[in-house]
């Protein structure tokens, strides 16, 4: 992919990082990341990916902006209420970094379209708020041998992990997938969503930032990914801790 004229100036602060450098920044320029869900998590995730220089970002969401979204969904404004989330996000993200490619899918991710959409990208970031879509993401990524970044929030807490990572020479994933840890989808009403429990907007921003960071590490090779680990953030106690995951 051709380097844009302002490439070095725009990403100077990242290129200065020895763990990223020019080679890592070019890897980000060539990366293709799918963001599923443009709510509280998807907004900061997509913004940070675009600002970091990820070459192609896909956005999947069939919803429109509502007034209740504005407490935590940073891409939208009052005037956007009633409008398509993916279309508003497209405009906002292109204004942040017009040299990158943003693909929009104004629909929910479904069993009928998931293989075609996910197949276009190198990595998936789950920014949804429902188990049905999360298990679908996991199953499609397992089928296509793609990695994905998990994130969830409730009230004052959030979680992040990376599943189905495959960077070994033998072509086999070396990390767990979501069903290895949580084999069965919770029954309806068994786990309450944010709409029922509430959520602090800034907590969603923290978790979204952590998801974006894992995605950037995935392509640049900087640090250690949250493979076979679950990171939990608690805003009331202001703590971060990780636990090992196993089947």
pLDDT in tens, 177-223: 999 999 988 877 656 566 678 899 999 999 999 999 999 999 999 99
**Residue 2 falls inside a structural domain:** no
pLDDT digits (tens, 9 = 90+) for 51-76: 999 999 999 999 999 999 999 999 99
3-state secondary structure 88-119: HHHHHHHHHCCCCEEEEECCCCCCCCHHHHHC
Q: Ramachandran region of residue 222, left (φ > 0), alpha (ψ -120 to 50) or beta?
A: beta
The number of domains in the chain is 1
Q: Does 1 map to a domain?
A: no
C-alpha 148/C-alpha 139 separation (Å) is 11
Q: Are 211 and 218 contacting, i.e. CB atoms less than 8 angstroms apart? A: no
Sign of CA dihedral 2, 8, 9, 11: positive
List the strands of the sheet with 147-154, edge to edge: 101-105, 56-60, 32-36, 123-126, 147-154, 157-163, 229-234, 239-244
> Taking a C-beta distance cutoff of 8 angstroms, is the pair 118, 140 a contact?
yes
* Closest to 136 in 3D by CA, of 172, 180, 185: 185
> What CATH number is attached to the domain comprising 65?
3.40.50.720
Q: How far apart (Å, rounded) are the C-alpha atoms in residues 237 and 240?
A: 9
CA dist 164 and 145 (Å) reads: 7
pLDDT at 211: 98
Domain presence at residue 124: yes
The model's confidence at residue 166, banded by pLDDT at 50, 70 and 90, is: confident
Looking at the domain assignment, is residue 73 inside a domain?
A: yes
Instruction: State how far the alpha carbon of 30 is from the alpha carbons of 56, 57, 122, in Å.
Output: 8, 11, 10
Q: Give the predicted TM-score (pTM) of the model.
A: 0.93
Cα of 126 vs its chain's centroid, Å? 5
Percent of the chain with pLDDT over 90: 85
Name the DSSP letter for residue 155: B
- Name the band, by pLDDT with cuts 50, 70 and 90, for residue 48: very high
pLDDT computed for residue 192 by the predictor = 58
Q: Per the domain annotation, does 175 fall within a domain?
A: yes
Mind listing the pLDDT tens digit for each residue in 170-185?
A: 656 678 999 999 998 8
Report the C-alpha gap between 34 and 80 in whole angstroms: 23
User: Containing domain of residue 157, as a range?
Assistant: 7-244
User: Residue 5: its pLDDT value, please?
Assistant: 76
């Amino acid at each position: 992919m051709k380097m844009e004229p302002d490439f070095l100036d725009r990403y100077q602060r990242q290129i200065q990082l020895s763990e990223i450098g020019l080679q890592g920044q070019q890897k980000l320029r060539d990366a293709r990341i799918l963001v599923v869900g443009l709510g509280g998590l998807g907004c900061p995730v997509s913004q940070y990916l675009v600002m970091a220089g990820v070459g192609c970002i896909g956005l999947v969401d069939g919803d429109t902006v509502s007034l209740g979204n504005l407490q935590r969904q940073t891409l939208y404004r009052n005037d956007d209420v009633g409008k398509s989330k993916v279309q508003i996000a497209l405009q906002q993200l292109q204004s942040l970094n017009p040299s990158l490619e943003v693909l929009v899918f104004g629909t929910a991710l479904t069993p009928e379209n998931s293989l075609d959409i996910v197949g276009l990208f190198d990595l998936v970031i789950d920014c949804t708020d429902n188990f049905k879509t999360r298990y679908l993401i996991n199953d499609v990524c397992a089928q296509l041998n793609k990695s994905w970044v998990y994130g969830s929030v409730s009230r004052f807490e959030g979680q992040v992990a990376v599943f189905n990572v495959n960077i070994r020479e033998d072509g086999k994933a070396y990390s767990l997938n979501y069903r290895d840890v949580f084999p069965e989808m919770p029954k309806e009403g068994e786990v309450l969503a944010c709409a029922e429990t509430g959520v602090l907007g800034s907590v969603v921003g923290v978790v979204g930032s952590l998801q974006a960071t894992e995605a950037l590490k995935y392509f640049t090779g900087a640090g250690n990914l949250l493979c076979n680990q679950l990171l939990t953030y608690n805003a009331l106690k202001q703590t971060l801790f990780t636990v090992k995951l196993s089947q």
